[in-house]
Structure 1
């Protein structure tokens, strides 16, 4: 039995560009990482209220990975699906999918772990309350 595709609390457009394709004729792996990082941080700023320039806490990526299932090429319209797989005291494990626009089965699945740190000391600090509330409201993946 095939498992159900992941459900993402947020999806953002990821239009491919001419220069995203590599010499093999598909979107290069580095572009997927850029799209995932952009989706996370755009959501944090626009929805969760992260003040990336002056806020007391910032999220640093301490781990990332991506598994590729199928390819895409320019001019394929893609989307990035975003959800939070784990919400800890000072960290968030983001689960992401790269999908053909309007489809539910990811062509790539990524994972980023952000640790929130004090902007000045770079020591771990709790996930800011407004960000925690937005994650709990919009993105926390259901547990099995």
Structure 2
């Protein structure tokens, strides 16, 4: 039974063209677990890698010197097909929600050249002052970079700029 709201796409139905930014990742032998596929924890490493690479190169965030930082407050992942070493993966990134102080990222993990995801997940950052850890608004340059990744929700309300 399909319980998703009318018009909403399930994560398994995502395709490569649903993502706005890509990063390649060459799997390593150490990514595999005892079952010869990529360990679940590695997927979260991949999410963190594409998000932070994007923030550094497109949002002028410097982990060592920025006055605000993003803290992960929730995360998720759905797995659709196994991946293993040696494969090259394409990591796709989009923003599903952009608030005053928070952003929700979605990452699609694709075999190189595939249009269907092997996994889809992501997390929510809440931006805080780097010293006090009090919630802070997303800076103008960071917001501009994140807006380029924003994809309006298929289900209507809930996502905003």
* TM-score tier (shorter): over 0.9
Q: Deviations over 1:33-59 (max 9, x none)?
A: 101101100100011110211111100
Number of residue pairs the alignment of both structures matches: 142
Q: Counterparts of 1:11-90 in structure 2 under 5 Å? A: 11-90=22-101
- 1:140 maps onto 2:127 in alignment: no
5+ residue gaps in structure 2? Answer: 1-11, 155-161
- TM-score for the superposition, normalised by structure 1: 0.93
Moved over 2 A (4+): 2-6
- TM-score for the superposition, normalised by structure 2: 0.84
Rounded Cα–Cα distance in structure 2 between residues aligned with 1:14 and 1:3: 22
SS at match of 1:97: strand
CA RMSD of aligned residues (A): 1.4
* Cα pair 2:14 2:117 within 8 Å, conserved: no
5+ residue gaps in structure 1? Answer: none
- 1:122 maps onto 2:150 in alignment: no
